[in-house]
Amino acid sequence: MKQTFYKYQGTGNDFVMIDNRLLTFDKNDTKHVAYLCNRRFGIGADGLILLENHEDLDFKMVYFNADGNESSMCGNGGRCIVAFAKFLGIIDHATTFQAIDGIHHATIEGDSVQLQMQDVSALEKFDSHVFLNTGSPHHVQIETDLPQLQIKEIGSKIRYGAPYNQSGTNVNFVSKVSDEVFSVRTYERGVEDETLSCGTGVTAVALAMNYIGETDKNRITLNTEGGKLEVAFKKEGEGYSDIWLIGPASQVFKGEI
């Protein structure tokens, strides 16, 4: 059986995108999902995303990590599926859709997608890092020599170490450029390697840097290995609301496998 797919990327975070409105894709076949995401034997991607019908909203997003398992929210994937929905003619310039962490609003203009993330009410500050959940769990720590950091080696130790060893976490390493700009490198669980960018990761970094007083700005530019993203937010007591992840998302190619 042939499967039509589309490849999308948002600042280098790439996804196999499938129109599953007719529910023809087997979501229980984790080996097949992992095969499609494999960069040697399949299509190659950081994750696979299904666009499905929703009875009340514009569509539903179902996201799988590259290891084949359905995962928590993916910010760049959320931006990419908005671009995909526009390509399919489901939406025009604004949308409301369902993801695993709840309802999201988004707008699209050209290749720029603004995705509203869930409010964050709890951040935990430790001596060496901040931990928070922006739809996915994120460990955020400041580093002075980001370019030389062995992301996969150090990130995997944190990801599988205490206190995260039960379910794991994504790991973000941050370097401050200015009050409005931070550089980020991310180790993603499920991919089990560094990705060129991570949407929920840069969101976590922006909030964490504001939370610990590294910046008092409420719109921050994040330099990732795959390009620039922006995060805008409002501080609400000890938490954050009206959080938007902003950046490009584009179709790379269409194919059959």
Distance separating alpha carbons of residues 2 and 203, to the nearest angstrom: 37
What is the 8-class DSSP label of residue 192?
Answer: T
Q: Please spell the DSSP secondary structure of 59-128, one letter per residue.
A: EEEEEEETTS-B-S--HHHHHHHHHHHHHTTS-SSEEEEEETTEEEEEEEETTEEEEEPPPB--EEE-SS
Catalytic residue among 36, 81, 184, 198: 198
> 257: which residues sit within 8 A by CB, 6+ positions away?
2, 3, 5, 36, 42, 43
| CA angle, 224 then 66 then 119, to 5° | 55
To the query of whether residue 37 is one of the catalytic residues in this protein, the response is no
Catalytic residue among 34, 74, 113, 196: 74
Q: Please spell the DSSP secondary structure of 113-127, one letter per residue.
A: EEEEPPPB--EEE-S
The DSSP bridge pattern shows strands 47-52 and 13-19 to be: parallel
To the query of whether residue 198 is one of the catalytic residues in this protein, the response is yes
Which residues are known catalytic residues? 74, 198
